[in-house]
Structure 1
Amino acid sequence: MNVPAGELEAVGEDARAVIREAKEAGVYVFGGGIDESAPPVLVAADGSVAEGGYPWAPPLNGGFTVLELPSREEAIAWAARIAKACRCDQELRVFGFDPES
């Protein structure tokens, strides 16, 4: 996010307002940010731990919002609302349903 000086508080208020709207609409599942004070680790199948994330992956920053929506079109509409509030592009991903979850 590249927020102009003096707008960070307004961005936070606008972003929280969109999340409140998602909760009121009954589509909000969860959200949160990456805790950048805890560095990533890779955990192997044998339980060994290596410092750092995947070497090929760019660093992650920002947060995630998970919404349960009936269509891709509605997901795009909500992503647009979040992008407007945050004043930055939003990457939209779709979770595959796991019947065991």
Structure 2
Amino acid sequence: MTQYLISFEKGAMDHIPAEDFPDVGRAAHAVIQETKRAGVYVYGGGLSYDDGDVEWGVVATDGTVADGPGPGGKELIGGLTIVDVPTREAALEWAAKIAVACRCAQDVRKFGFDPER
């Protein structure tokens, strides 16, 4: 089996009206429960940026720490799910379900193989 990161960018759900978020949350949780029942769930969650507390940052190669995004305004992950599935097609199928539930496009990337994993 191979692990895939399914993710979406911070702000990808900004188009959703506030009153729809409970429905989106229920739909997203239902898909995650489905991944768990299927035995492919590894990890997942949403990332917080707007709670007023700086709980994230970038650590440079010299060890200095900066709050916020790194140089060049790199894209930030808004949420992620990791699945362990037999094929890329299976990962894309799960990503499609998550995209529908979250009402936003999903990025799918294969984790590099680590023989000691």
Equivalent residues of 1:34, 1:60 under 8 A apart:
no
**Structure with more strand by fraction:** 2
**Cα deviation per residue 1:26-48 (whole Å; 9 max; x = unaligned)?**
00000112231435433234433
Q: Which runs of 5+ in 2 are unaligned?
A: 1-12
Equivalent residues of 1:14, 1:86 under 8 A apart:
yes
Q: With the length of structure 1 as denominator, give the TM-score of the two structures.
A: 0.85
Q: With the length of structure 2 as denominator, give the TM-score of the two structures.
A: 0.75
Equivalent residues of 2:92, 2:108 under 8 A apart:
yes
Q: How many residues align?
A: 101
Partner of 1:4: 17
**Distance (whole Å) between structure 1 residues aligned to residue 31 and residue 39 of structure 2:** 12
**Distance (whole Å) between structure 2 residues aligned to residue 4 and residue 46 of structure 1:** 42
**Distance (whole Å) between structure 2 residues aligned to residue 92 and residue 30 of structure 1:** 14
The AA in structure 1 aligned to 2:106 is Q
Equivalent residues of 2:31, 2:101 under 8 A apart:
yes
State how 1:1-101 maps to structure 2 within 5 Å. 1=13, 2-36=15-49, 37-38=53-54, 40-101=56-117
What secondary structure is seen at the aligned counterpart in 2 of 1:6?
helix
- Identity among equivalent pairs (%): 51
**Distance (whole Å) between structure 2 residues aligned to residue 91 and residue 54 of structure 1:** 20
Instruction: Give me the CA root mean square deviation.
Output: 1.8
**Cα deviation per residue 1:20-66 (whole Å; 9 max; x = unaligned)?**
00000000000112231435433234433234432124341421100
Equivalent residues of 1:19, 1:28 under 8 A apart:
yes
The AA in structure 1 aligned to 2:33 is R
Q: Which runs of 5+ in 1 are unaligned?
A: none
Q: 1:45–1:5: structure 2 CA closer, same or farther, 3 Å change rule? A: closer
- 1:90 deviates by 0.8
**Distance (whole Å) between structure 1 residues aligned to residue 22 and residue 70 of structure 2:** 33
Structure 1 residue runs of 4 or more that deviate by more than 6 Å after TM superposition: none
